[in-house]
């Protein structure tokens, strides 16, 4: 018995060592690229945070505390910022008091040398009767020079876009997109090798998480085609609240797309047992810190709620070459695995006439286990009677080693076979499955 235990421990240890070596190797590469010989770490040429979806309300204190924590940490991690960018939804409805409360925190914490850059989001339109009133209020309160504009900071081009109505999916007119095309030409003529930073509240569909219910619908293809000839473009978008822990929050095809998550709360997706707003979703607060070097743009993901970085820094090459893009949908073909010591059980005391409760050890992956596919079969007939998807709770700090999940909608006094497969962010599914049997009461 002891020999079997030691063999299991050895297998688990080897698997964990391999994963640790992979992670450490990436970390060392990041650090090596940022070093300059014996002189230690070089100074970045440009530094700016990017956050979004602060959603300051007219009353309450939690929103203000969360925003304060984010700004405090960004100042600690980047004491010399060249700009500070908020990609929309500063306010929850666009009410005057919400703007005042936002700037009561922002102005106290903003570094004086940093250029403030704000885009308007759909939430800024909610309190106004007309689109024009909302836009005028936004410009008056933020002191931005226009709804969409182009600014050069330390030789780098920042292009700010602005949604033109309260439409949730975003409203970017042909006029604005044509203007964007002209600004991109100007930026490229200035220096074709430098990155061009483009900021927009709503993401373009089929980038980042792919097609989702919140992506741009009006003039989307024109917008994409306008950006397509410029591999040096790096877009930053908010709106979706997708957690930065997911590797799909960066995507490269013709250019680079980055999500900024949300300062206020996360939305990891629909169709999972934990719900599209899972327990603890309001506790997660995230944002980005961008550092530009001669040959790399380094983007660090920050968990403000945990006061730490999450995942490895994204590294975007300068000059950009779309043929050498790394962060594509094909970047990961490695399947998650359950370690040999993984277990699964049915918690009998929680069983009822229509529900079973399972508990199992989480799988491991080279990037991240995103979720689990759970198949329930009638033990007697072998028929699949239910399928479920469940988050791995990858967005939690810490991520639990063991998951406990209810499986509802079953028949009374029936024996079932339950199979659990692990799935990563790129839909790679584990070859192994955890299997258990259980009966409803």
Q: What is the CATH number of the domain that holds 96?
A: 3.60.21.10
What pLDDT is attached to residue 23?
43
Residues 181 and 144 in one domain: yes
Judge whether 15 lies within some domain: no
| pLDDT per residue rounded down to tens, the chain (441 residues) | 334 433 443 445 444 544 444 444 444 444 444 443 333 458 999 999 999 999 999 999 999 999 999 999 999 999 999 999 999 999 999 999 999 999 999 999 999 999 999 999 999 999 988 999 999 999 999 999 999 999 999 999 999 999 999 999 899 999 999 999 999 999 999 999 999 999 999 999 888 875 555 678 789 999 999 999 999 999 999 999 999 999 999 999 999 999 999 999 999 999 999 999 999 999 999 999 999 999 999 999 999 999 999 999 999 999 999 999 999 999 999 999 999 999 999 999 999 999 999 999 999 999 999 999 999 999 999 999 999 999 999 999 999 999 999 999 999 999 999 999 999 999 999 999 999 999 999
Residues 180 and 287 in one domain: yes
CA distance 314 to 344: 35
Judge whether 337 lies within some domain: no
Domain finish residue from 289, 324, 359: 324
Residues 368 and 435 in one domain: yes
Domain finish residue from 324, 353, 373: 324
Judge whether 128 lies within some domain: yes
Closest CA to 80 of 40, 113, 103: 113
How many other C-beta atoms can be found within 10 angstroms of the C-beta atom of residue 144?
Answer: 19
Give the single-character DSSP code of 134: H
Judge whether 98 lies within some domain: yes
Residues 107 and 237 in one domain: yes
What pLDDT is attached to residue 27?
41
Strand duo 384-391 + 369-378: pairing = antiparallel
Residues 317 and 364 in one domain: no
Residues 36 and 125 in one domain: yes
Q: What are 300's two structure tokens?
A: 């660090």
What is the SS3 assignment for 154?
A: coil
Which residues span the domain enclosing 292? Answer: 24-324
Per DSSP, what are the bridge partners of residue 153?
A: 156
* H or E segment and range at residue 280: none
Judge whether 94 lies within some domain: yes
Residue 317: phi and psi, rounded to 5, are: -70, 145
The residue to which tokens 């009677």 are assigned:
385
Residues 248 and 313 in one domain: yes
Q: What are 113's two structure tokens?
A: 């040398």
How many other C-beta atoms can be found within 10 angstroms of the C-beta atom of residue 4?
Answer: 8
Residues 121 and 212 in one domain: yes
Judge whether 12 lies within some domain: no
What pLDDT is attached to residue 210?
54
Judge whether 333 lies within some domain: no
Residues 309 and 413 in one domain: no
Residue 190: phi and psi, rounded to 5, are: -65, -45
The tally of domains found in the chain comes to 2
The full DSSP string for 236-248 is EE-SS---TTSGG
Judge whether 106 lies within some domain: yes
Residues 317 and 372 in one domain: no
Residues 110 and 254 in one domain: yes
The model's pTM is 0.90
CA distance 10 to 362: 18
Domain finish residue from 295, 324, 353: 324
Residues 190 and 146 in one domain: yes
């Amino acid at each position: 018995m002891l020999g079997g235990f030691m063999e299991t421990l050895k297998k688990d240890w080897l698997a964990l060592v391999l994963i640790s070596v992979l992670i450490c190797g990436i970390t060392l590469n990041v650090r090596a690229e940022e070093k300059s010989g014996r002189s230690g770490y070089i100074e970045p040429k440009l530094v700016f945070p990017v956050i979004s979806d602060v959603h300051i309300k007219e009353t309450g204190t939690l929103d203000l505390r969360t925003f304060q924590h984010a700004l405090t940490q960004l100042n600690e991690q980047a004491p010399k910022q060249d700009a500070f960018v908020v990609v929309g939804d500063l306010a929850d409805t666009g009410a005057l008091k919400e703007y005042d409360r936002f700037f009561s925190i922002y102005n106290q914490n903003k570094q004086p040398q940093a250029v403030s850059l704000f885009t308007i989001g759909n939430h800024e339109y909610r309190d106004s009767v007309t689109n024009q009133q909302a836009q005028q209020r936004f410009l008056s309160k933020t002191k931005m020079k226009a709804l969409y504009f182009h600014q050069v900071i330390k030789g780098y081009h920042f292009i700010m876009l602005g949604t033109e109505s309260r439409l949730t999916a975003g409203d970017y007119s042909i006029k604005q997109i044509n203007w964007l095309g002209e600004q991109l030409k100007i930026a490229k003529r200035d220096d074709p090798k430098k990155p061009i930073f483009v900021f927009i509240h709503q993401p373009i569909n089929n980038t980042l998480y792919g097609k989702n219910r919140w992506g741009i619908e009006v003039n989307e293809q024109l917008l994409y085609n306008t950006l397509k000839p410029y591999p040096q473009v790096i877009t930053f978008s908010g709106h979706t609240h997708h957690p930065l822990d997911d590797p799909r929050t960066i995507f490269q095809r013709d250019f680079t797309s980055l999500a900024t998550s949300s300062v206020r709360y996360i939305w990891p997706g629909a169709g999972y047992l934990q719900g599209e707003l899972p327990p603890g979703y309001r506790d997660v607060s995230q944002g980005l810190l961008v550092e530009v070097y001669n040959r790399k743009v380094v983007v660090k993901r920050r968990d403000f709620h945990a006061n730490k970085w999450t995942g490895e820094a994204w590294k975007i090459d300068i000059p950009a070459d779309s043929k050498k893009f790394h962060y594509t949908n094909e970047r990961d073909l490695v399947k998650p695995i359950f370690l040999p010591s993984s277990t699964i059980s049915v918690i009998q005391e929680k069983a009822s006439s229509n529900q079973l409760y399972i508990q199992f050890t989480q799988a491991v992956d080279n990037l991240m286990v995103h979720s689990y596919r759970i198949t329930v079969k009638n033990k007697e007939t072998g028929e699949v009677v239910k399928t479920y998807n469940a988050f791995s709770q990858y967005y939690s700090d810490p991520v639990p080693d063991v998951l406990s999940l209810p499986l509802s909608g079953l028949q009374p006094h029936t024996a079932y076979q339950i199979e659990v497969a692990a799935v990563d962010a790129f839909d790679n599914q584990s070859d192994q499955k955890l299997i258990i049997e259980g009966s409803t009461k």
